[in-house]
A and B are shown apart, each in its own frame.
Chain A
Amino acid sequence: MISTVLFFLFAGVAISCGVSMVVHRNPLYSAVSLIGVFVALACLYVTLAAPFIAVTQILVYAGAIMVLVIFVIMLLNLDEDKPLDRLRYLYFVGGGLGVALLAQTFFIYYAVLKTPKPDFDASTTVGNTMSIGTAMYTEYLLPVEIVGVMLLMAIIGAVMLVRKSEQSRLDAVSGQNVEEK
């Protein structure tokens, strides 16, 4: 009973935050709403007995990625009144993607209804930190390594991009800056 109430509470928060993210013109309000979605999803994971995934959700999405997004929005100070006309074709792309997502939701719902209920043992350690770690470094070692290499490439790429622009900027204004230092 309580888990049902909690589910509807957090699902409601997630959906309303999602809607407010799409509807708001002010990008900062949208970003804050998106944080609300992440937090509500993390709460849902907790009710599903997966605290590790919940904490990772908050740590990675709410704690790291959205901080950068908000940082950028704060620095850019975007104008909230002007709708961007030149991106109008995105409405159609977005509409198509939305329909596809809705169809997928119904398909999953249908598939879940069709499959027989699995024998779920409440004492299993799925979602347990140790079982996740064991699975990651035995059964799914190759995907983990691929992701690791990709992240390393991304880090090196970011460093390279910043280095280059830093050098060109210094070249452009070398006169005054060198003297100041």
Chain B
Amino acid sequence: MEQAFKTAFPFIVYTGAILLAFQGVLMIVAYTVLAERKVLGWIQGRIGPNRVGPWGVLQPFADLLKFILKEDLAPDKSTKFIYFIAPLVALTCALLPIVVYPFGPQIRDPLGWLVPYAPVIPFAGEENLVAWIAEQARNLPLTIAQIDVGVLFVLAITSVGVYGIALAGWSSNSKYSLMGGLRSSAQMISYELAMGASILGVVLLAGTLDLNGIINAQSNSPWYMRWFIVPQFVGFIVFLIAAFAETNRVPFDLPEAETELVAGFHTEYSALKFALFFMAEYVNMFTVSVMCVVLFLGGWYIPGLDYAARGLGMEAVFGVGTIGYAVISHIGFLLKIFFFLFLYIWVRGTLPRFRFDQLMSFGWKFLLPVAIGNVIVTIVIVYFLNR
């Protein structure tokens, strides 16, 4: 019995962690949609949704229920199988990067305090399973999968996400969808290059592709000057612009430009399939915000928090490695992400849309050269600093 439990334990923990992380991200995404409608309302002098629940709080769930209950239509001459899998591809590729997000710092011994109470806990067993579990959870990382190529993993998965949009556009058998799909593929291929080149500067400074390693490289000093946004400001701006283009958001939302293409690649989609595309777009926004925070704003690291704990003599409460430190850092991480999500909405309420040829020449003739120049300058500086 105990042996079976010990074998099954990692699976239980990982399944639980994955469910928790996905659920958390999807809840944030649901409320991003509500926040977008509210903030856009305020920007445009309206009130925004306020009927479902107090202050419109239950609006995302009402929307979801509506999406589920609507009739699911498919165009007569669509390529049925690809029409069916396209939204699944889009959402899967949007959700997969969650497994490498660094949600917070390592907790040194989160369950150690439970061990003395073990005899009181039922089913603890003679071998003292509580002590065994506490031993397993020592140095608990707040990341589901710790791989040393986290940055590349996120880039790779998001680059596969373009298939969802391209295939949806093609299989719908509609001219608006096809134009939207083509525009979006061209746009995502173009801006992926600038995005990758802007990340290179950070990778050079940190010396690692591991997301937790990049955060650690930014957290060795109490001051924000270690955040890579300072030495890599050009890279940050390029990354931010490319991120708006990668997620098909205003001012780069040409794949779904209403005035030209009805709704672009998802014109023919209805009900839950449309909801999947919609969710994928917002999860992608979240992913890009996470990458922005991790690469340029120190991730979960709050400058001076460890020093404050030491100065106040409260190291047991929120010193490095305690649960309190992890909780505060995680809240800081989320606040930084919320700032970028707000920025997305703010920009949507403020800026007009690009024209397609402007978009392409901006990406290839301005953004990419700037990103490559930034990489070259960074290489030279890093070389002379390390000599």
Q: In the complex, A35→B185 CA distance in Å?
A: 16
In the complex, the answer to whether B178 meets A74 with C-beta atoms within 8 Å is: yes
Q: In the complex, A26→B79 CA distance in Å?
A: 11
Q: In the complex, A67→B181 CA distance in Å?
A: 12
User: Please, which residues of chain A bring their CB within 8 A of the CB of B2?
Assistant: none
In the complex, the answer to whether A56 meets B181 with C-beta atoms within 8 Å is: no
Contact of A63 among B82, B160, B178 (CB under 8 A): B160
Total residues of chain B contacting the partner, CB 8 A = 27
In the complex, the answer to whether A51 meets B163 with C-beta atoms within 8 Å is: no
B80 to chain A, nearest CB (A): 12
In the complex, the answer to whether B182 meets A75 with C-beta atoms within 8 Å is: yes
Q: In the complex, A98→B168 CA distance in Å?
A: 34
Q: In the complex, A67→B170 CA distance in Å?
A: 13
Q: In the complex, A32→B209 CA distance in Å?
A: 29
Within 8 A of B (CB), among A92-116: none
Q: In the complex, A39→B163 CA distance in Å?
A: 13
Identify whether the interface residues of A are mostly helix, strand, loop, or mixed.
helix
Q: In the complex, A64→B159 CA distance in Å?
A: 8
Instruction: Judge whether A70 is part of the interface by a CB distance below 8 angstroms.
Output: yes
Q: In the complex, A17→B82 CA distance in Å?
A: 15
In the complex, the answer to whether A28 meets B170 with C-beta atoms within 8 Å is: yes
In the complex, the answer to whether B148 meets A51 with C-beta atoms within 8 Å is: yes
In the complex, the answer to whether B152 meets A56 with C-beta atoms within 8 Å is: yes
Instruction: Judge whether A55 is part of the interface by a CB distance below 8 angstroms.
Output: yes
Chain B residues with CB under 8 Å of chain A are 79, 81-82, 147-149, 152-153, 155-157, 159-160, 162-163, 166-167, 169-170, 178, 181-182, 185-186, 189, 192, 209
Question: 14 additional contacts, CB 8 Å, given A51-B147, A63-B192?
Answer: A28-B79, A28-B170, A32-B167, A35-B163, A55-B152, A56-B152, A56-B156, A64-B159, A64-B189, A67-B159, A67-B189, A71-B182, A74-B169, A74-B181
